[in-house]
């Protein structure tokens, strides 16, 4: 029986931080604990997990030892939330699982695009929208 889930997320990614805040702000049937992927804490707790993989995609570790990534990780997060367990169960069904995969893939693509834009903006000394910020941008 799963009694706690640890969500490894990329703390340097704005989209990931927003998802973390959204999840943390919901009533939880199963407590979600958030640990920055690649952090010393994550490495200490989960030495068998590949750091690059946990930074590339959301990873959820259940207290029963189960490890979930990509769409399965998002479904586990939804399953843990009060009011979302039914949605998670529906999206996990074989005929809807491709939709869950597509949503997870879209989030991953958006994350990659945002990180590229942030990197380009940082290099150019702008805020990501072409506005000069004197090299002190907080994006």
Q: How far apart are the first and last CA of the chain?
A: 40
What is the Cα–Cα distance from 40 to 48, expressed in whole angstroms?
Answer: 13
Spatial CA neighbour of 130 closest among 121, 119, 139: 121
Over residues 23-50, the pLDDT tens digits come to 999 999 999 999 999 999 999 999 999 9
pTM of the predicted model as reported, rounded to 2 decimal places: 0.76
Over residues 99-134, the pLDDT tens digits come to 767 765 666 566 566 667 776 777 777 655 555 555
What is the Cα–Cα distance from 11 to 37, expressed in whole angstroms?
Answer: 7
Over residues 40-87, the pLDDT tens digits come to 999 999 999 999 999 988 899 999 999 999 889 999 999 999 999 998
């Amino acid at each position: 029986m799963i009694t706690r889930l640890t969500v490894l997320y990329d703390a340097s990614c704005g989209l990931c931080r927003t998802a973390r805040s959204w999840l943390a702000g919901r009533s939880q049937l199963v407590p979600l604990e958030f640990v920055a992927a690649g952090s010393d804490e994550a490495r200490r707790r989960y030495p068998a997990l590949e750091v690059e993989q946990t930074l590339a995609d959301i990873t959820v570790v259940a207290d029963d030892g189960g490890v979930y990534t990509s769409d399965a990780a998002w479904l586990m997060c939804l399953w843990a939330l009060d009011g979302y367990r039914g949605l998670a169960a529906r999206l996990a069904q074989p005929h809807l699982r491709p939709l869950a995969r597509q949503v997870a893939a879209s989030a991953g693509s958006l994350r990659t695009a945002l990180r590229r834009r942030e990197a380009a903006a940082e290099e150019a000394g702008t805020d990501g929208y072409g506005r000069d910020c004197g090299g002190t941008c907080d994006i």
